Every structure is written in C-alpha cells, then in structure tokens.
Structure 1
Amino acid sequence: MPAIPARKLGNWKMAYADFLTALMAFFLLMWLVSGVSPQDRSVIAGKFKLRPEAAAVLPANPVPAEAQDLYSLLTLADALRAAGESVVLTAEPDGVRLDLVDTSGRPLFESASGALTLDGQALLAATAATLSPLPNRLSIEGHTDAFTLTQAGYSNWELSSDRANEARRLLETGGVAPERIRSVSGLSDTQPLDPGQPHLAQNRRISLKVHLRAQP
C-alpha cells in the first residue's frame, strides 16, 4: 500500500500573516494621510496624476534632435538642478520649455503682486546665468492660479503680465541680451500646469520657451 503524503497544515498561517501585514500597512497609510491638509493632498495627488502627454505611446509631434540636445544641456546645468522642484523642463517640437514654479515651501512671488521674492530673484539670476551664453531666442510668459484678486481694476491678466515683465528685467540684468527676447506675455490662469487643479501653487509661474536656433 503506497504511503499517504503528510498534509502541510501550516500554509494557511503564512497566508494569514501576509494578510495581517498588508492590513496593518493599509491602516498605517490611512493614519498618515489623515494628518495631511487638503491643500497638501491636492499637491500630492497632482504629483501622481498621469498627464495626457505622458500617457501617449507616441507623441503627435516628435521632438527633433536639436530640442533633445538642448533639453539635455539644460537638465545638466548645476544652477537649475540645485533649484529642485522649482524648475520643470519639457522638451517640445519647437524648443524647450523651462517653467519656474511657485511652491508652498519656496514661493517665487509676493502675494498678489508682480514682484518676486528673494528666492524668486535668486532663481531668475541662476536661470539668466544658464541661458545667457546660449544663442537661442526666448519667449517669456507669466501665469497665475485661478484665485480671483480682490484689488479693483487689477486682475490676473495684469498680474501675469507684471510677472512676465519683471522676469524679463531680471533676465536682462543677469546677462541675457535684450534682442534675444522674442515675446513677453501674461496668460492669466488660462494655461495651468494641471488643467484639473487650476488653484495649485505650481500654476503661479514664469514659463520660458527656449526656441530652436533655426526659428526666427
């Protein structure tokens, strides 16, 4: 008569232990999240939200090699790398976009004002030092969040324009030749970084387009 193999009676204990571990991790995560403010939760959610352009398998407009080289050059710039989350670089078909963004820990602008904070001035100076040796032309855009201003006769349109012009002045002071400035515009809150969250601090920003050299 063949021997009957012994049953392994302890397997369920391992599965049960794994379940309890996962459950404890879940409750720990919920406890940590409960202590975060709604504003910070919005910022965290924005970090994990997949943007439409990132979700595409193939870009509709391929980025040319010159834009990729320019993107790599700016990515390696020590002054921009030291700014951390205050700088967002994006390679585009007609150049590289360099967003200088406001963050809760490092605001770039005075509240409801076109004036930059000391941190903002330092970031513009570092950006100017990085861009001044390049021959590429620049477009400067000022952006705001979607909060409405309380000052009569002064809207986000004026505010974004003031910020763009303040950035232009600081870039020129930092060594960027005035003839390289292609345009200066204020776009209010019409182009948030995350269209689903127009009130985020990151939407308050200066956006610099570094154009490809072949463009007028």
Structure 2
Amino acid sequence: MSQDSRPIIIKRKKIVKGHYGGSWKIALADFMTALMALFLVMWILSTASQEQLEGVADYFRTPLTSAVVGGNKTTGSTSAIPGGGPDPMHTDGERMRIDLRTETRPSDEQRSFVDLQRRLESLVEGDPQLRDMKAQMRFDMTPEGLRIQLVDTEQRPMFELGSDHVAPYMRDLLRAIAPVLNEMPNSLSISGHTDDIPYAGGEKGYSNWELSSDRANASRRELVAGGLDADKLLRVAGLGSRVPLAETVPSAPVNRRIAVVVLDQRAARQIRSQGLRGGGAPSPAGTNLSGALPESPLEQFTQGLKEAVTDD
C-alpha cells in the first residue's frame, strides 16, 4: 500500500453535558448549619441573665487544657518538652494562664465580696464616731479573698506604743464591723503586722513577732466581743515586720496594721486540709511507728523481691 492511501483517523472528544457533582451542596449545608448555630448563640446571649453571662465569662477564662485535665497539671503545654521561660517547667504564657485560673473564683462569691465591702464602707461612713477611721481602712481582693486592712497613722495609732492594748476608736470599729462579718458564711483569717523598728533586746526576747501575734489576738477578742462567731476564725497569726506594704519603707506607720481576710471557699479548704496527709484523712492501718509514709506498691514489690533472693 502506498503512503498516500493510508486511512485518516480523526479523534473527537465526546462532551457529556450534565451537573458537576454534589460537593457544593455539602459546603452549602455546612455554611447554613454554622450560620444557624451563630444566630442561636446570639439569641441565647440576648435572653441570658447577668449572672449567666458572668458564668459563661468565667468558663472561658479557664484554659481548656487545665479544665480537661484538672487543677493538678503542672503545665498546660502540649509539647513533650515543656519550657521556654525562666522556669523550665513553665513558659511565660503558661504561668500567666495558671495564675489566672488560680485567682478565678465563682461569680456569686465575687459579688458577695463586693457587696460586703460596700456595706462596711457605708457602715463606717454613716457613723459619726467611726467616720474618722475610714481613711485607715483599705480593701483589696487577694487570691484568698477580700482583705480588710486597718492601718496605723502617726496621729491615730490603733494600739498603744509597743503594746497590744487596743485604742478606744479601734475597739469601736472592730465591734461595729463584727456583726456584718458574722452575716457572711465565709471563714476569716486575722494577721498582725508591725514596722521594722526592733526592740532593744532584738529577737531573742519579746520582739515584733510576739507583738504582731498579740495584736492579732487582741483584734480577735474585740471581734468576738462585738458578735462574731468564734468558729468562723480559721487562722490568727503574727507576721512581724516581714510583709511590709508595697511601695512603703518598712518603718512607715502604715505597716503597723491588722489584716482581716474574708476567705473564699477554696482558701478555707486549703487551710483546713493542712492537717491532713496527702490531702485526705490518714488511715490508722497505714501509719507505722516511725511516722514515715507507707510504702508504695512498687517499693513493697521491690522489698519482697530482695527478701526472696536473700532467702534463697
């Protein structure tokens, strides 16, 4: 056959007209579902009360990882090798989140502290005999709860010099606020503080340690005399001059003060648990004569294996 008589083959692409698949329907359905969820959340938020909104805000303040694993997790990092900050067990961001979680308390308890502060301020402001003491009262929120500090001034000291004898106006103030504190279900902590001016004999004899403790106990007695239930007191301590106020010199008169802390539930539980071993009640069967902690299962197995080898 000659080259000119070869058959000519023409290939034509067959075009099939029709739809392009159903993937767009899935995308549209996902979009409509997300849009419906958004409107549903907006409607719920618009009908929620202020207390419910604050509860939602408290929920989102807690890191998700810490909320899932609980409060005993050392770090919220998802990395197998934690670190990245000054402390190898934390990064700076992790420490910030953990501290925020520690300081967060239920919104109803927070509101009760705010209400208590307003009531105490109104009480002092409305009494002509106590009004002069308002400038010596300081309120602030701490990780333990609402702290009420009664500070000294050169013109109006709360105690006689170097003594735990309560001044009359200090006595009136403590007895006036006692019924209000007694209405709260929370427990209390009282701590005494002094300036850093030492006694002549130093700390070998009667010192600022004893003075601060005596003043804290004198304040406790006045609160109880004013109507405070003595069972509400969980801690009465003297800290001497070791904890001066921020941005003050240790010898400043304001460092001679009494701090009354209305404890939140978490702080009260921590104080009560200090007498327990490992956070739970000690078992009589698990206590040995030496007072040491009972051996773990691994230690018991290892000790038994050693005894078996020795017997053989």
TM-score range (shorter-chain normalised) is 0.5 to 0.7
Fraction of identical pairs, as percent: 36
Measured in 1, the distance between the counterparts of 2:154 and 2:116 equals 24
Measured in 2, the distance between the counterparts of 1:59 and 1:202 equals 32
Q: Give 2:40's aligned residue.
A: none
Q: 1:87 to 1:195 in 2, by over 3 A?
A: same
How much has 1:63 moved relative to structure 2? Answer: 4.4
Q: TM-score, normalised by structure 1?
A: 0.67
1:74 and 2:124 are equivalent in the alignment:
no
With 77-86 and 132-141 compared, the bigger mean Cα shift is at 77-86
SS of residue matched to 1:192: coil
Runs of 5+ unmatched residues, structure 2: 1-96, 126-130, 270-312
CA contact (8 A) 1:142 1:186 kept: yes
Aligned alpha-carbon RMSD (Å): 2.4
SS of residue matched to 2:190: strand
Match runs of 1:165-180 below 5 Å: 165-180=217-232
1:141 and 2:183 are equivalent in the alignment:
no
Q: Deviations over 1:135-182 (max 9, x none)?
A: 110011011011112367210001001001101111111111111100
How much has 1:60 moved relative to structure 2? Answer: 4.2
1:192 and 2:236 are equivalent in the alignment:
no
How much has 1:94 moved relative to structure 2? Answer: 2.6
Match runs of 1:37-116 below 5 Å: 60-61=99-100, 62-64=103-105, 65-66=107-108, 68-77=110-119, 78-81=122-125, 82=131, 83-116=133-166
1:162 and 2:162 are equivalent in the alignment:
no
CA contact (8 A) 1:162 1:186 kept: yes
Runs of 5+ unmatched residues, structure 1: 1-57
Measured in 2, the distance between the counterparts of 1:66 and 1:85 equals 28
Return structure 1 stretches of 4+ with deviation > 4 angstroms.
none
How much has 1:67 moved relative to structure 2? Answer: 5.0
Which of the two has higher C-alpha Rg? 2
1:212 and 2:264 are equivalent in the alignment:
yes
How much has 1:80 moved relative to structure 2? Answer: 4.2
Higher strand share: 1
SS of residue matched to 2:159: coil
1:126 to 170, 176, 183: 176
Measured in 2, the distance between the counterparts of 1:67 and 1:145 equals 33
1:150 and 2:200 are equivalent in the alignment:
yes
How much has 1:186 moved relative to structure 2? Answer: 0.6
Measured in 1, the distance between the counterparts of 2:116 and 2:245 equals 20
Measured in 2, the distance between the counterparts of 1:66 and 1:92 equals 16
Measured in 2, the distance between the counterparts of 1:170 and 1:151 equals 30
Q: Which letter maps to 2:219?
A: A
Measured in 2, the distance between the counterparts of 1:119 and 1:108 equals 8
Q: Give the number of aligned pairs.
A: 160
CA contact (8 A) 1:63 1:92 kept: no
Q: Which letter maps to 2:111?
A: D
Q: Give 2:11's aligned residue.
A: none
SS of residue matched to 2:183: coil
CA contact (8 A) 1:68 1:91 kept: no
